[in-house]
Every structure is written in structure tokens, then in C-alpha cells.
Amino acid sequence: MRIARKARSRRRHARRTRHRRRARSIRRTDKRGSVRKAAALASPANLPKSCADNPDPLAVARVVTIDTSHGATFGGVQYKDTGLLKDKEVVLTFDDGPMPSRTLPILKALEAECTTAVFFSVGRMAAEYPHIIRQALALGHTVGTHTWSHANLRRLSKAGAARQIERGFAAVAAAARQPIAPFFRFPYLAAPKVMETYLRGRKIGIFSIDIDSRDWRGYSPAHMVRWIMARLKERGKAILLFHDIKPNTARMVPYLLRALKTGGYRVVHLVPKTTYRPPEADRAFAARFMARRHGGRASPAGEARASEGESAARARRASVTKARRHRKHRRARHSRQRAELERPVWNGPEISSN
């Protein structure tokens, strides 16, 4: 036990040392000028409010059509460079959403720069907030999937992993009300060989990353902008990974887009050559789940009526939760009182302290 604790302590110390060295490297790069200049120009006063009001938007430099008929793979962290990007080109990708308080500000920031991204949505989240998926598609973004419930596919059987993949596609397609791109990213970038073979057989493109923004670590927006720009300076081009469920990511994206523009980087938008149709059983599962979750609403009018009562429903649920908590505490208090009353009383002779 003592040896295990010492080993864990050594690993923690090694991690902290690596992080400190990386932070010092970022600061040294920052002091050399280019990163600091790009981040400084992205001040709140310089951020555009909309695409129409932006005289010099980041925009989309190039649109690339992806043919997944042979199961293409992208991303230098796990796969070989396929020549997808040229120098100073980036692809913006967002995982794990949608989430209204995070995804909607990101969509607004992307729209203000007249640019687009690829969203790898979790099926369960898409079924929860289908209107955000449709809004992203209406703004010209590409939507792929990220499994049904963000499961680590290395821990599942082949059948379970395939079910996670197909249900994710079915749920996102049901939320979008249209077929979606055959684009997939493994959660945690955990890609079992057997599932890579499965996806190629299903003619689904596999997307890894080149640069991780590390927004899941909770760093400040300024730190993340410096980190990404420093890594871009090293690599020259990249598929960037963000998570549209993180609050700091939503705050950071407008500043990063301005920094990319100032740094001379260009955004490449990825679109599919074909769409993907999941199996009938998984489409039926997604339809049943959405019907249960949204009370069977299928039309825009039905969604509007349901949304009017959502705030009242939340208030009722909060009231019920509060009442249950109150009853639980009351039962616990009564149990203590009964135990106090039932405690035996000493009726024997008085015991002297001497």
C-alpha cells in the first residue's frame, strides 16, 4: 500500500513538472511576439457582433468534400497525414454537445466570423436538444456523431460498441430530421482496431485530431488562445479539438477566431460526399427515445407548445425535489428523537465519583 502511494505521488509530481515546463514554453513563445500580438488584438472592443457587421471576417477559405466510401481517416495524433490541409489551414471541430448555454454562444461567435465548423454530437445530447442540431445545420455547419452516450468503446464488446455507434447516428439524424454526415470521432480518442474496421465497412469516416485545445482542463480563455496559437506555430496546420459543453470554450471561441484571422490562418470546412442511414432498429430506438423525452411532439407547433410549459415543468420538478428532501430530513429528525426517547434511563443507586 505504501509503495503504491509513493508511485502515485511520483506520477503526480512528474505531471506537474511537465505542465510547468509547458507553461514556461508557452510564455517564452508568447514573449517572442506573434502569439501575444494575435491575442491582444482580440479584445472585446474588436470582436464583431454579426457577419454583416464584420468588415474583415475569418470566413471559410476552402470547402473540402470528403469521400468516406473507403472509410477515410484523418488526424495526425492517430493516423497518417492524408494531405487534407495545406499550410496555415485549420479545421474547427467540437465534441460532446449540444448544450444550449455553451453551444449557442459558439454558434453565434462562428456566425459573427462568417465561418463554419464540424460538430461531433453525442446522440443522447442531440435527442435532448434537437433544435440546436437543426440550427447548426441551418447555419451551414457539418454534424457528425460521437456515439450514443460518450462511452469508451475499448471497454465494450464489439456488439455493444456497434450499438453505441449506430444509435448515436440514429439519434442525431432524428434530431436533425434529415440524414447527416458519415463523420465519426471516438470518445477519448479510444479507437479499437476492430471498431475501426467496422466503421470502414460501414463507409464512415474516422476523425482524430492534430491539436487538443485542452479546454477540458478548465484553463482560462486567454491561456487556451496562447496554447493553441503556440501549437499552430509549431505545426503550421491542424484539426483543432474543442468541447462545446465547456463554459470556458464558449467564452474563448470569439477571441480565438480573431487571433486566427490576425495570425493569417484560414478555415477549411468539411462536407460529406454522401450521407449515412443507420439500421432500422436503431432508428426506431431513437424515435422511441425522443417521443418519451419530448412527450411525443413531432411538429414545430407541438415543440412550441411544449417549450411554453418547460419552465413551469422545471419549477414543478424543483418543488417536488424540495418537498422530498424536506420529508427525508423530517424522517431523520423524528428517528433521532425516537432514539433519544427510547434510550434507557439509569434508575440504580447514585455512583460516587470517589
Domain annotation covers residue 332: no
β-partners of residue 268 are 62
d(CA 15, CA 12): 5
Residue 69, Cβ density class (10 Å: 0-12 exposed, 13-18 middle, ≥19 buried): exposed
According to the model, what pLDDT value does residue 325 have? 84
Residue 260, all three cell numbers:
486566427
Domain annotation covers residue 155: yes
Could you tell me the CATH number of the domain that includes residue 90?
A: 3.20.20.370
Domain annotation covers residue 349: no
- pLDDT winner (highest mean) among 55-59, 152-156, 303-307: 152-156
Has residue 189 got a pLDDT over 90?
Answer: yes
Has residue 10 got a pLDDT over 60?
Answer: yes
Does residue 207 contact residue 118 with C-beta atoms inside 8 Å?
yes
The pTM (predicted TM-score) of the whole model is 0.73
Residue 337 neighbours by CB under 8 Å, 6+ apart = none
Domain annotation covers residue 68: yes
Summarised one tens digit per residue, pLDDT across range 115-161 is 999 999 999 999 999 999 999 999 999 999 999 999 999 999 999 99
**Closest residue by Cα to residue 183 from 151, 141, 225, 223:** 141
| Domain hosting residue 247, numbered range | 29-293
- Cα 49–chain centre separation: 24
Q: CA geometry: angle at 112 spanning 273 and 304, to 5°? A: 80
Domain annotation covers residue 326: no
**What number of CA atoms fall less than 13 Å from residue 297's CA on the CB side?**
20
According to the model, what pLDDT value does residue 318 have? 77
Domain annotation covers residue 243: yes
How many domains does the chain contain in total?
1
**Closest residue by Cα to residue 139 from 119, 120, 124:** 119
Summarised one tens digit per residue, pLDDT across range 259-279 is 999 999 999 999 999 999 999
Summarised one tens digit per residue, pLDDT across range 164-183 is 999 999 999 999 999 999 99
Domain annotation covers residue 49: yes
Domain annotation covers residue 337: no
According to the model, what pLDDT value does residue 85 have? 93
